[in-house]
Amino acid sequence: MAAASGTMIVVQNLLLLALISCAFAEGSRGRSLLAAPSETVFDVTKYGAEADGETDNYEQFIKAWVAACHSKTPARLLIPKGEFVVGAVVFQGPCSNSPIVVEVQGNVKAQSDFTEYPNAEWFAFEDIDGLHVMGHGSFNGQGKEVWQYNDCHKNKKCQMFPTSLKFTQVNNALVEDIHTIDSMGFHVSAVKCNTFTFRNVTVTAPQTSPNTDGIHLSRCNDVTITDCVIGTGDDCISMVRGVNNVNISKITCGPGHGISVGSLGKYDDEEDVKNVFIKSCSLTGTTNGIRIKTWPEGLPTKVVTLRAEDIVMNNVENPIIIDQGYCPSHSCKNKKVFGANNVSKLLLRIPPHKHLDVMHGTISYIPTNSGSNPVQIMQSQVHHKIVLLH
């Protein structure tokens, strides 16, 4: 679905090239207080975008992006203060300058008409080497208008709702100081990305919002997620197939479903998840703390080395859980919960005031005055695979 969207938007971009063949000179200097003197600023309002909270600015955003992307000098695309409405849009690379900067000062609001999104993405970046998205602005996915139509809790083949910010094959990137609000589907997703940092990203959605993962990673390498505040209706951070070398630190999570690896095993030929390091995070009022989840009918996919240390959990229902019978739609043929045989190494550092016992293949975690339930590893025999760090 993502590939189809990218193809469609590229064709639209090509049609717009005739309109902007002389637009490269329209880039202005000085509108952004953060722009370097050598940068040309491509302000979307110079290409006709209107910050009236009503006009669809798709064509104007694409014009500004194509001009900035093809600039021969350092470029900064600016979305100034104001409320800009836009439907499905793809900022497509490769670009002639790197890194290209996208500064968001204003509030970008999605079209609330669900038919405007033929594919599961709203604001997408594709095939870019060197990207910096920043600016203390926000992306409002208007999820409250469509959440009532989400039936994924009972339909295994449900339609995926649009991700607010999707990065596909984007390398050497930094996303910082951005606020994403009420996404229809995932808030932020990175697919096939390398050397990517999320810093000081804020995610806000109600606890009841369905499938609104905060930051979702798939087939990514060398990712850092730090200093983020995430409150949503699904996983604060989720990692699936082919994720390798992820450092997560100083995350405030809640409400939500915690920090998760998986679900895994749903698709053929899934790559393993390797080297996930979680440190100095706080989870409050979440369904889970650290979770690994796999489908009961899935093909084997391994989690190789997950290390969590200095994690504070308050009122977390399942502080640490490995669930190999994950089946949210309750339509799996085989509902048996298997042992955690696909976990190669799980390392947990427990703060001194906590207590952890390992007996008979079950982890019993007894928090101090947290109101949480014990850790559960369902029907597991994994005591030889768990390393406790002191």
Pairwise CA distance, residues 45 & 51, whole Å: 8
Q: Facing residues of 108 across strands?
A: 84, 139
Burial 47-74 (b: 16+ CB within 10 A, else e): bebbbeeeebbbbbbbbbbbbbbbbeeb
Q: Which comes out higher in pLDDT, residue 3 or 144?
A: 144
Pairwise CA distance, residues 143 & 147, whole Å: 6
Whether residue 54 has pLDDT greater than 90: yes
- Identify the pLDDT of residue 194: 98
pTM across the whole model:
0.82
Whether residue 338 has pLDDT greater than 90: no
C-alpha distances out from residue 189 to 166, 198, 236, 293, 321, Å: 5, 11, 12, 19, 24
C-alpha distances out from residue 169 to 2, 92, 220, 319, Å: 12, 10, 9, 33
Q: Facing residues of 318 across strands?
A: 288
Q: Facing residues of 190 across strands?
A: 167, 217
Whether residue 122 has pLDDT greater than 80: yes
Contacts of 42 (CB under 8 A, 6+ apart): 26, 27, 28, 64, 65, 67, 68, 71, 75, 76, 77, 78
Q: CA angle 26-175-34, nearest 5°?
A: 45
Q: Facing residues of 103 across strands?
A: 78, 134
Provide the mean pLDDT of the chain. Answer: 80
Q: At what angle do helices 58-69 and 2-17 cross, to 10 degrees?
A: 80
Contacts of 251 (CB under 8 A, 6+ apart): 225, 226, 227, 228, 229, 230, 236, 237, 259, 281, 282
Q: CA angle 186-91-177, nearest 5°?
A: 55
pLDDT band at 42 (very low <50, low <70, confident <90, very high): very high
Alpha helix (H) ranges present in the chain?
A: 2-17, 58-69
Pairwise CA distance, residues 228 & 86, whole Å: 26
Going by their DSSP bridges, the two strands 259-264 and 288-294 should be labelled as parallel
Q: Is 132 a catalytic residue?
A: no
Q: pLDDT tens for residues 228-283?
A: 999 999 999 999 999 999 999 999 999 999 999 988 877 778 899 999 999 999 99
- The catalytically annotated residue of 257, 360, 384, 390 is 257
- Identify the pLDDT of residue 342: 54
Pairwise CA distance, residues 361 & 143, whole Å: 42
